Structure 1
Amino acid sequence: MSIPKKRRNRYNPASEDFHKEEFPFYWLARVYGRYAMAMEKLLKRIDLDIPRWRVLNILFENDDSSISEISEHAVAKLSTITKIVYRMKDDGLVETSQSTQDGRVTQVSLTAAGRQAFFDMHELTDELFQKSFQGLTEAQLRKLNQVLANIFANLPEH
């Protein structure tokens, strides 16, 4: 059951009835901002940051990926991901190679050090994850993911 258009006004920043505390993106930004600050503080202990954390997660789950695939999953500009990948290569966390199917495509994979960094970062950030979702059931987390996936699908691609 969707909210009637007339009642959506208080959620719409363009409306006279708008209240920021009722704007879902207000809460998404606040939640992500607080999460990002806590993550940055933790990851700094092992010389990582959120962009590297994101790439390590993508590569661990997908084995090797092209830079454009990483960019798509990270929802980040290709040029930004390219810079991150080459910094990670300099740090010994990933290795790059030319795709066998298309010489214009750069494939990225984790090194042994990258795999170890993946495990280290998750050991370090597990408590934050557990605390973040404290009091929520698995069904609530599943529903939250469904709602966010719907909103994501409604937004235009970059």
Structure 2
Amino acid sequence: MTSTKKRLSRYNPASEDFHKEEFPFYWLARVYGRYTMGMEKLLKKIDLDIPRWRVLNILFENKEASISEISEHAIAKLSTVTKIVYRMKDDGLVETRPCEQDGRVTQVSITEKGRQAFFAMHDITDELFHKSFQGLTEAQVRKLNQVLAKVFDNLPES
């Protein structure tokens, strides 16, 4: 066993030295779960949910995106995102149209009502965001993002 594998063995669930509290995915799951519960509670107050929150964030940043691009950024199945987008269209939050270059592709854009929902959702969730990173410096948050991006890149796509 290489020295790197030996050093990392205690973080591996298959190891005899394993303790769940030392498993990074244990903490990722707990952080994500707690954050999600807080977000759901807050977003419910303005008739939104996390899938709509994701789509609105993606569209606000990109102005327009195809359903497959939204699916990629949201890390969600294409069929799931399609259902979410069409529910959001029914709610007046987004508009859809065929792509000019490829009619098989559906382009999605945010409406004025969607922009209002975007600002409302950020107003209501802002405190949760700041509380989540209380006591961390900007450099620590940046490093956390770098480490998580590296782990993400190491994982298989499917």
Does residue 95 of the first structure (1) align with residue 83 of the second (2)? Answer: no
Does residue 47 of the first structure (1) align with residue 55 of the second (2)? Answer: no
In structure 1, C-alpha distance between the alignment counterparts of 2:140 and 2:56, rounded to whole Å: 27
Deviations 1:76-104 (A, max 9, x none): 11011001101101111001000000000
Matches within 5 A, 1:54-69: 54-69=54-69
In structure 2, C-alpha distance between the alignment counterparts of 1:16 and 1:74, rounded to whole Å: 36
Deviation at 1:18, TM superposition (A): 1.1
SS at match of 1:6: helix
RMSD (Å) for aligned C-alpha atoms: 0.8
Task: State the partner residue of 1:157.
Answer: 157
Deviation at 1:4, TM superposition (A): 1.4
Deviation at 1:9, TM superposition (A): 1.1
Amino acid at match of 2:23: F
- TM-score, L = length of structure 2: 0.97
- TM-score, L = length of structure 1: 0.97
- Structure 2 alignment gaps of length 5 or more: none
Aligned length: 156
Task: State the partner residue of 1:21.
Answer: 21
Task: State the partner residue of 2:35.
Answer: 35
In structure 1, C-alpha distance between the alignment counterparts of 2:23 and 2:78, rounded to whole Å: 30
Detail structure 1 runs of 4+ shifted over 4 Å in the superposition. Answer: none
SS at match of 1:102: coil
Task: State the partner residue of 2:111.
Answer: 111
Deviations 1:7-58 (A, max 9, x none): 2111111112111100000000000000000000000000000000000000
Identity of aligned residues (%): 82
Amino acid at match of 2:59: L
- Structure 1 alignment gaps of length 5 or more: none
SS at match of 2:97: strand
Task: State the partner residue of 1:129.
Answer: 129
Task: State the partner residue of 1:144.
Answer: 144
In structure 1, C-alpha distance between the alignment counterparts of 2:76 and 2:15, rounded to whole Å: 30
In structure 1, C-alpha distance between the alignment counterparts of 2:78 and 2:19, rounded to whole Å: 35
Deviation at 1:107, TM superposition (A): 0.2
In structure 1, C-alpha distance between the alignment counterparts of 2:19 and 2:9, rounded to whole Å: 9
SS at match of 2:96: strand
